[in-house]
Chains A and B, each alone.
Chain A
Amino acid sequence: MFEWSEEQLMVQEAMRRFIEAEVVPNIDDLEHNGVPPFDIIRKMYATFGMDQMARDRFKKQLERKISGQEESAEERAERAGDGGAAAMTLIPIIELCRYCPGIVTSMGVSVGLAAGTIMKQGTPAQMERWGLDLLTAEKVGSWAITEPNSGSDALGGMTTTARRDGDGYILNGNKTWITNGPYADTIVLYAKLDDGSDTPIRNRQVLTFILEKGMEGLEQSKPFRKMGLNSSPTGELFLTDVRVGPEHLLGETEDERSGSGRDSAKGNFVTERAGLAAMSLGLIEQCLQLSIQYAKDRVLWGTPIGDFQLIQLKLAKMEVARLNVQNLVFRHIEMSAAGKSLSLAEASAMKLYSAQAASEVAMEAVQLMGGNGYTADYRVEQLARDAKVYQIYAGTDEIQITHIAKDLLRR
């Protein structure tokens, strides 16, 4: 594909209308007054029937899980259509990121990471108890892996532990940088199995748990004050002797054949990283559009600044970035439609380029607008602060580079 289909443009147009009506008027509350994004996400789900679609999809996934069948190639093609499924998820992401990448972050973590993990590795009972309400955006989910002393080294450096206790576990530790952490109803949390053996903690088995708000010993912090992405609440989780039954262990087994905690975490890296290209595309499109308009409107020395070659260079570079990122997004859509998935290295390359492009474009948009660009009114100031996080979360730029290089050198 090289352009959006007529159908996809209709989705785009409907999303734009919704964003104009529901997001833009509330942007100050979301970005500056600590209003969480969940009501808007729910409204979007209800408005476009995304909740009903999620319920339908859930039913099929549940049936498959119970019967133990893999999705057939036919079913997958039907689900994907002509790039349909991937595009239908990515277009709202792109459009929302023109204004509010934070909403997308909160939504992506809740529906994509938290629910996605439960749906993939959970038992039917776990899917029903915790998966469905997250998929429909009724409840808020978190996906907790990062800790104060383990960021980029998330799995190795992890020190949150799960000690066997009867048929259940007792959890202790501290998670940080957890998107939706302050509000989450359901938390997918990774912890190291403490089986009393002398295996160094780095090498211990990683288990995945599903926790609920209000559990004894679980504390959810207030949102952090961050540089940007303020429409997405981020916080800490403290676990002090949190006792959980076996039904809270994802998959209800320590047996790694049904998927280990490490695999579960890594599987999500690909989804997250690919989604980030779509997030970058929306942000870049918006910065470019605002910059073009500004370059035409702002007159200096009797001429629009768009006549100056140094301004033209900025616009041209933004357009190159937009085209490249759009191509990456289109490629991802095409691949999903063909039932193919990205390798971790490909997803990392996609993320590295897109995140850097988004940051650069947004900063250049601020520069192009001079003092106005530095004020909230002209919007690119917020987008520039938001874009910076693209290079940090879902794996820093440096970590993407190591993943790409490792893959290249293995060949």
Chain B
Amino acid sequence: MSDTRRITLRVNGKPHTADVETRVHLADFLRGSLGLTGTHLGCEHGVCGACTIIVDGRAVRSCLMLAVQADGAEIETVESLGAADALSPLQKAFSTHHALQCGFCTPGMLMSLEAFLRANPQPSEADIREAISGNICRCTGYQGIVEAALAAVAAREPTQ
């Protein structure tokens, strides 16, 4: 007997209405029901950060949030950043600074940094390291990721 509820939410600017099982977490909903497989699941217990997305402007681990809790929410996933042929400055900086290897943690890293850099336009290196301290990367040793974030900050037009 599955218990389902109807939810309405916006994902990457598009409205969606869906009937979801109450026990399905948001990451499974995004991946399975909406086909947004850019959001990855690395631990499903809220530590690795691979599933990080932006919910109402804040970085959230989508494995720790039920889909029904996202009713009415505005959600951004990695697919909302630049497409492969039109990468955002942060995505481009990731490539230039070799901030990804296997690419599995990358969507979570990008979304953590995206939320963080919007709120903190002039961070220090230590701030950036703190901002991604909830995202585990087994491949890079983090240095390229930190350098990419700093480069994206430096490349941004100074705000008036």
Q: Indicate, yes or no, whether A interacts with B.
A: no
| Interface residues of A, Cβ cutoff 8 Å to B | none
Q: Which residues of B contact A (CB under 8 A)?
A: none
